Amino acid sequence: LFIMICNFPNCSVKGESERFVSCWLCDGLAHLKCAGLTGRILGSILDSKGLRWSCLKCRPTEIELFKVFKQARNGFKEIGRDLETLSEKFRRYATLIQSFQCLNTQEENPKTSSKRKRPSDEDTTVSSLERMPPPTIDR
């Protein structure tokens, strides 16, 4: 036999015919009437629409948890903004890198460049000397 007992010290309901609500932190029970739950709030809690009820003993803990959850949510929002900023910077750098890669492929592709390289003054290999025109003598 399971007996449900209201946790409210001044329980005004005698007997077990009344419906109960359970504290989401300690699972303590209270009559709906003792907890003061009526109307829309009661409907939302019973329909589990994100509202939870906490007993008098657990309310200070619930308030502290709410503060921690709020700080965590704000921290995650800040991290999200930082991530957006970094993603935008990454996109810009990726575009910049792609443009440099396009320049490199144009320089490496001999078909795109119609200019022939001239041997430099420091190039003294035999093949480069053979390609050089003979010197002219002015008289």
pLDDT per residue over 70-121, tens digit each?
Answer: 999 999 999 999 999 999 999 999 988 888 887 767 666 655 545 555 555 5
Question: Is 70 exceeded by the pLDDT of residue 37?
Answer: yes
CA distances 130 to 73, 79, 121, Å, are 76, 66, 14
Least confident of 30-39, 63-72, 73-82: 30-39
Q: Is residue 82 part of a domain?
A: yes
Q: Is residue 114 part of a domain?
A: no
| Same-domain check for residues 66 and 51 | no
| Same-domain check for residues 77 and 102 | yes
- Looking at residue 30, what is its pLDDT? 86
- Looking at residue 1, what is its pLDDT? 54
Q: Is residue 125 part of a domain?
A: no
Long-range Cβ contacts of 49-53 (<8 Å, 24+ apart): 52/24, 53/21, 53/22, 53/23, 53/24
Q: Is residue 94 part of a domain?
A: yes
| Same-domain check for residues 64 and 30 | no
Q: Is residue 135 part of a domain?
A: no
**11: exposed, middle or buried (Cβ count in 10 Å: 0-12, 13-18, 19+):** middle
Q: Is residue 122 part of a domain?
A: no
**42: Cβ contacts below 8 Å, ≥ 6 apart:** 32
| Same-domain check for residues 4 and 53 | yes
Query: Range of 34's domain?
Result: 1-57
CATH code: domain of residue 51: 3.30.40.10
| Same-domain check for residues 47 and 12 | yes
Give the single-character DSSP code of 28: -
| Same-domain check for residues 30 and 65 | no
Residue scoring higher pLDDT (124 or 7) = 7
| Same-domain check for residues 67 and 103 | yes
pLDDT per residue over 13-31, tens digit each?
Answer: 766 667 788 888 898 888 8
pLDDT band, residue 131 (cuts 50/70/90): low
Q: Is residue 77 part of a domain?
A: yes
| Mean pLDDT score, 34-38 | 81
Q: Among candidates 57, 7, 69, which has minimal Cα distance to 32?
A: 7
- Looking at residue 83, what is its pLDDT? 95
Q: Is residue 46 part of a domain?
A: yes
Domain count, the chain: 2
| Same-domain check for residues 52 and 10 | yes
- Looking at residue 52, what is its pLDDT? 79
